[in-house]
Structure 1
Amino acid sequence: MVCSKYASANGICISYFLLAISCLFPLQSVAKTVNETEQQIELAMQQLLHSEMQQWQQQAGLKQLDFKLQIKVPSGAKRLPLCQSQLTFDSAGGLPIGNVQRKVSCSDQGWNLYVRASVDVTATIPVANRVLKRGAVISAADIEWRSVQLGMSDRDLVTQSQQIIGQQVLRKIRRYKAIKVVQLSSPQWVNIGDRVIIEASSNGFYANMQGEALEAGGEGQAIRVRNLSSGKVIVAYPLAPGRVATKF
């Protein structure tokens, strides 16, 4: 009886154990699917951002570019089935620097969600070796190459020294900071009220005359100039400080 009772008790324990195991397997299967879906999204996002950074490095002509990614897959991904097709991302403008967000979609499962990432970028770029104030014309002596950590505000930056040297400072440039396009402009070779030499040439004919600038402008910009001999107002184009040319 004792043995029979012991056997019966063991039978109950074994039944409970089998029931627990049978319940556990589906949970493990779901957990595996969730884990795989999250990993699938994270890996696809990593590949996308890597591709975008490498493409920018080639386009910008950067010799040295380092970046670190931290992908943040939303909690809603836990409820999504594994995508059997290739994940697709909406295109986004600008460089993936700082906090970025991309919309990822799965066509065969019909789901989409937004994935965020933190992108830390360090690049070797030309920077000013001193503070450059508004109006200064930048020379080669003002520029040096340094490894700089970039932030979200540095997306519209200049990556080549030839794009900086000879330009005029439109907005103050800080020392050893990324130089942005909006901080630069073509130098103002002519200011309003300046006396200028007007050069005119056509079919071998050349002449020059005195003029007065009615507008300010830099290289290639069309400005109004008054011919002081005739009083006529013409359109001319700055060639250098104090010199403009007409086009026929």
Structure 2
Amino acid sequence: MGASAQLEQEMTQLLSREVNQWQLKLGIKELTAKIKVRVPSGAKRLQFCSGELAIDSGDIPLGNIQRKVSCEAQGWSLYVRASVKVKARVPVANRPLKRGDHISITDIDWQVVSLDASDRNLLSQLDQILGRKVVRKLRRYQPIRSQQLDDPQWVNIGDRVIIEARSNGFYANMPGEALEGGGQGKAIRVKNLSSGKVIVAYPIAKGRVQTQF
């Protein structure tokens, strides 16, 4: 194997792993990726790397990318480009939605769509989308990105929640009832169902709030 083939093989394997990790992180069930590495012609003059190739990390590989690849053993480095074409089955708006619209199940279809670099923060699960308000226009049959919707409403009025309390290594949780709704970072009033007291807590996930003694 020459240096060109080595570069193409290891770059392809790395990008494939990165796409798979991103898929798992977002919980996308159906995804296909076509990776084409374009090794510079100058690589034909390079010695096969007898050690491990060092490939710079980067953003989630979607679309056209470029990475620096180095071989310490033979003392060379160069930039390698690649095209990563990804298709995935994700929830999309079945009609244009304007700013201020709230999203319901009737607004959403599932479709296989092509993704590009701007879709790194797409939302792949219905519970990440339904009930939220549009802050940037949604186009029909286009991936829905997190920045297009308002912050998720993790807690609604009347919800039963788990109250987490942390202080100096101490941790406890107890049942509560939300007296206000809110998302991440918003202080809301919660009734502690164990003590009956009303406290201030902060939503940290769906159905969970946190306070400190």
With structure 1 as the length reference, what TM-score do the two structures score? Answer: 0.62
Residue deviations 1:33-63 (CA, integer Å, cap 9, x gap): xx71100000011101111111112111111
Q: Which residue among 14, 20, 38 is the counterpart of 1:54?
A: 20
Report the AA paired with residue 118 of structure 1.
S
Maintained 8 Å contact 2:152/2:184:
no
Maintained 8 Å contact 1:135/1:168:
yes
Q: How far apart, in 2, do the equivalents of 1:155 and 1:106 lie? A: 30
Task: Give 1:76 deviation, angstroms.
Answer: 2.2
Report the AA paired with residue 72 of structure 1.
R
Q: How far apart, in 2, do the equivalents of 1:238 and 1:219 lie? A: 10
Over 3 Å counting, the alpha-carbon distance change for 1:221 and 1:125 in structure 2 is closer
Q: How far apart, in 1, do the equivalents of 2:21 and 2:103 lie? A: 29
Task: Give 1:123 deviation, angstroms.
Answer: 0.3
Q: How far apart, in 2, do the equivalents of 1:237 and 1:84 lie? A: 59
Report the AA paired with residue 137 of structure 2.
K
Q: How far apart, in 2, do the equivalents of 1:222 and 1:157 lie? A: 22
Q: State yes or no: 1:247 paired with 2:200.
A: yes
Q: State yes or no: 1:138 paired with 2:103.
A: yes
Residue deviations 1:8-29 (CA, integer Å, cap 9, x gap): xxxxxxxxxxxxxxxxxxxxxx
Report the AA paired with residue 89 of structure 1.
I
Task: Give 1:166 deviation, angstroms.
Answer: 1.2
Task: Give 1:68 deviation, angstroms.
Answer: 0.8
Q: Kindly, what percent of the aligned residue pairs are identical? A: 51
Task: Give 1:143 deviation, angstroms.
Answer: 1.3
Q: Report what 2:68 is aligned to.
A: 103
Report the AA paired with residue 150 of structure 2.
S
Task: Give 1:79 deviation, angstroms.
Answer: 2.2
Q: How far apart, in 1, do the equivalents of 2:132 and 2:49 lie? A: 51
Q: Report what 1:77 is aligned to.
A: 43
Q: How far apart, in 1, do the equivalents of 2:106 and 2:149 lie? A: 17
Larger Cα-atom Rg: 1
Maintained 8 Å contact 1:186/1:219:
no
Q: Report what 1:170 is aligned to.
A: 135
Gaps of 5+ in 1: 1-34, 189-207, 209-217, 224-235, 240-244
Q: How far apart, in 2, do the equivalents of 1:90 and 1:119 lie? A: 16
Q: Report what 1:5 is aligned to.
A: none
Gaps of 5+ in 2: 154-178, 191-197, 202-213
Q: Which residue among 219, 231, 241 is the counterpart of 2:182?
A: 219
Maintained 8 Å contact 1:128/1:174:
yes
Task: Give 1:152 deviation, angstroms.
Answer: 2.3
Q: Report what 2:34 is aligned to.
A: 68
Maintained 8 Å contact 1:137/1:187:
no
With structure 2 as the length reference, what TM-score do the two structures score? Answer: 0.71
